[in-house]
Amino acid sequence: MTHDHDHHHKSPATLRTRVLESLLVEKGLVSTDTIDAVVRAYEQDIGPLNGARVVARAWTDPAYKKHLLEDGTAAIAELGYTGRGGAEMVVLENTSQVHNVVVCTLCSCYPWPVLGLPPPWYKSYEYRSRVVREPRTVLREFGLELPAKVEVRVWDSNSEVRYMVLPQRPPGTEGLDAEALAALVSRDAMIGVANVQAP
C-alpha cells in the first residue's frame, strides 16, 4: 500500500491502519503485494461498481436521472450507497457541449460511496495543480481528446461537496440492460478523465 495521501492531518484511523499494516507485514502474515492487490481492487473494480450502477440506472430511467441531477445525495442513497456523513454528492452530466472533470485541489476529497478509494494519480500534486490550469492537455494525456467546441468544466471537491460525473451513454448500446451498461462504466469516466466506450 502506498502512503501518498498528503492530507494536512492524519486521522487516528489512518495512523492505526499504518501501524496495523506494518505489523502484519513485519510478522510475515501478509505481503505488501497482497495489500497492494486489495487496494487496487477497491480503486478500480469493487469501489467504482457502485457508481457504475448509478450511471446505468440514470441512463435507463429518465425519472431517476432527473432526481440524480437535482439531488445526488438522495438519489444515490436510494440505491443504498451512503456513508461518510455530511458530504453532499453532486452529479454532473456530460453532454456533447460540456465535459466535466473532478479534482480536489487541496488534498484528495473523493466520492467514496460511489467510487471507493481514490487512485494514486488523483492524489498527486501534478494532477491537482495541472488539471485546473490546463485541463485539455491533462485529458489528452489520459487519452481523451475533446473537440474544441466542447466546454471543459473543472470541479473542485472538498469535505462538504463531492462530485461525480455522469458520462454520456455511448451510441450503439440501446439494446443493453442496466447490468450490461454498468459493466462499461469505468472509474475514470466518473472522474471525467475518460469517456465510456461502446463494447
Residues that bind Fe ion (CB under 5 A): 104, 107-109
Closest CA to 166 of 17, 74, 65: 65
Q: Which is nearer to Fe ion, 107 or 144 (CB)?
A: 107
| Residues that are catalytic | 104, 107-109
H-only helix segments in 79-118: 112-115
- At a CB cut-off of 8 Å and minimum separation 6, what does 30 contact? 24
Q: Cα torsion at 13, 127, 124, 168 (round to 10°)?
A: 40
- In the bound state with Fe ion, the residue whose beta carbon lies nearer, of 87 and 185, is 87
Quick one: 38 or 107, whose CB is closer to Fe ion? 107
Q: Give the shortest CB-39-to-Fe ion separation in angstroms.
A: 18
Secondary structure letter of residue 172 according to DSSP: T
Complex with Fe ion: residue 106 or 152, whichever CB lies closer: 106
**Residues shown for the chain:** 199
CA distance 110 to 104: 7
CB-based contact 198:146 (threshold 8 Å): no
Helix (H, G, I), strand (E, B) or coil at 108: coil
- Please give, one letter per residue, the 3-state secondary structure of 3-65: CCCCCCCCCHHHHHHHHHHHHHHHCCCCCHHHHHHHHHHHHHHHHHHHHHHHHHHHHHCHHHH
Task: For Fe ion, give the closer residue by CB, 58 or 113.
Answer: 113
